[in-house]
Chains A and B, each alone.
Chain A
Amino acid sequence: MTEERLSTAGEDLLTIAGLTKAYPGVVANDQVSFAIRPGEVHALLGENGAGKSTLVKMIYGLVKPDAGTMTFKGMPYAPSEPRAARATGVAMVFQHFSLFEALDVAENIALGMENPPKMRDLAARIREVSQNYGLPLDPDQLVGDLSAGERQRVEIIRCLLQNPKLLIMDEPTSVLTPQEVAILFQTLEKLRGEGCSILYISHKLEEIRALCDHATVLRLGKVVGTCNPRQETARAMAEMMVGEVLHVPLKAPRVPQEVALEIEALDVPARTAFGTSLKDINMAVQMGEILGIGGVAGNGQDELCSVISGEILVGASQVRLLGNAVGDKGPNARRALGMLAAPEERLGHAAAPDMSLTENALLSGAVREGLETRGMIDWGRTREFAKKIIQEFDVRTPSANTAARALSGGNLQKFVIGREILQNPSVLVVNQPTWGVDASAAAAIRQALLDLASAGAAIVVISQDLDELMEISDRFAALNEGRLSQPVEASGLTVDQIGLMMGGAHDLDPVPASSEALA
């Protein structure tokens, strides 16, 4: 029986045995077993869809397993809801924050507590904990004014106030600058020193190699291996995740060419209360060149993408395409000239959720693919175009008539990127091209972007994945609070330089923070 097997693992903090969870049509977790020791940083590795999120949701009491058992400190553990998990000593920091922008830090933290203390006492506690762990935070500040990194600190401190034995972190560094990552790691090291275990979910392999003691690798819901990340190469772990040998995109050498896209002295005020205004943006992208733009989300990426796509109109000469002033032209006029875009938000922006893939092919393809004549739609050609995208970009879908929202995120992403690439643009801007796409599909998308560039297109890739930008960019620039840094040659850039371009860590740098905490 499983019970007997569990009893041998008495010294483990959390033991998981045979956890299984099936959803209609997919087994998210299949007989998953592993153990987390006290004071260990345990990595959970796997591609999107490997079942990492389902697994931690079961540990946190958000999802009930179909089969299998968990043991926490030798006691049977089966949380019925997150409150029970928190009472046992399990806390979790989610990838997507659940914070109210219009409330201040202390109010946000009080909202998540069972019996919040008086606000003044709570504020004092927050100051104390944030000092102790080197995560400076002002309890009276509005969350709407905080950077992504600072918001994450709110979530972490919310967890730390419960004195957890096990802290689950889901992709914590995806929103951080390299300097902020360094601060976070110091905090996690300190927690580990105090005996708190950490279950760390990420697909950033170098981070896991630097931080974690032990790694469990999931693929298609099953545990496919365990390793000591400090002894493995990132490549070996990636191949364990993917189950195949990874294809690294090839970059052809490039000679300087004519400038295709030029943006000059661009200022765009913020459109909403928590939007970002663009300040004095200047850039020029040559034909055949890929300009990578990094930065933490919410620093003007969406706005910049909209300025290039034509959704935000500016002065005519502020955006130039092959010398033509197009700043005051709308999206379809720009498409006719060869300037295309793939926005970040797949459902609702790049694609209409309730419309079929065929209709979504028409959405941006009408002009260049000749899918309409004098307003009348040629549905036959539109369907052909949709099928071509589905085939050439390996979009997994029952048919072209399937609603966009029924596709998985990665498949829809392939469709959205494929739709623009197949229209053969002379300028293309893509925002987060491989967000949520599995490693082999991501490699295919990057390769398609590189091929497009070597065929002469000017490409702007906006991404938060620095490894991706370093892999495909010719030049690199960073967006920070709506300002674009001077683009520099991508080859030879160090992580520190990139971090500084991204604005470093907000209001502090790693070393004084920790010394302050010790004082």
Chain B
Amino acid sequence: MSTAELHTLTGAYALHALSAEERAEFERHLEDCAPCAQEVRELTATAARLGLAVNVTPSAALKEQVMRRITTERQDPPKVQQPSPASGARRRGRALPRFVLAACVAAATAFGGVAVWQQQEASDAREEARRSERQSEELASVLAAPDAKVTTGKLADGASGTVVVSRERNKAAFLASGMPEPPSGKVYQLWFDDDGTMRPAGLMDGSALTGPALAVLMEGPVDTADGMGITVEPAGGSERPTGAALALMDFPTA
């Protein structure tokens, strides 16, 4: 099925009116089509309204049976909706324009006024200053590390992102320019990609995104991570990615 044809299936999908094969094909398409995913969410919510309108009054016996059954039903553990390394994450990564591997760290330092990310809401300004100083030093040490490797990629909306990884220092930094502010009540969250499992690596909110460019020291060690991702999450961040991925970038290997 062509992409244009797939776009028109949002309605049939929301109504469960596709065959199993078409459904699977459409779900693969959804991974790469943010507008389709948005439309599906809206049309699914619309379909649910059709369901609400046929509300009936259930018997008391039904509740008794259900309440009795749950005492012996085991609950599923919290499961992360995780694309397998072989499919989702990598494929989405490839769907983005090809990343250009910059020649050297000079590319990173060429970012004009690099603004160091600061947590704006912190109450203790002095502690904050010390923290950002430490971060700034650490950031500089990552950028200047002899083994630092650089990857640059395009994000959504014409913004671009650069990842600098120092395996020696076991740290990574993310530099972005032209990123729009996240929607109100949302933040950008960074993730380390441990072979398909995303590990939280700090937040960026709108206040950090003013100015020509920004550099963030990613929280936590790189360890075995082979890539990173950025998603939009509710304020405060999430334990696992819940929002749409703005970018998934592989760490440079050479």
Chain B binds chain A: no
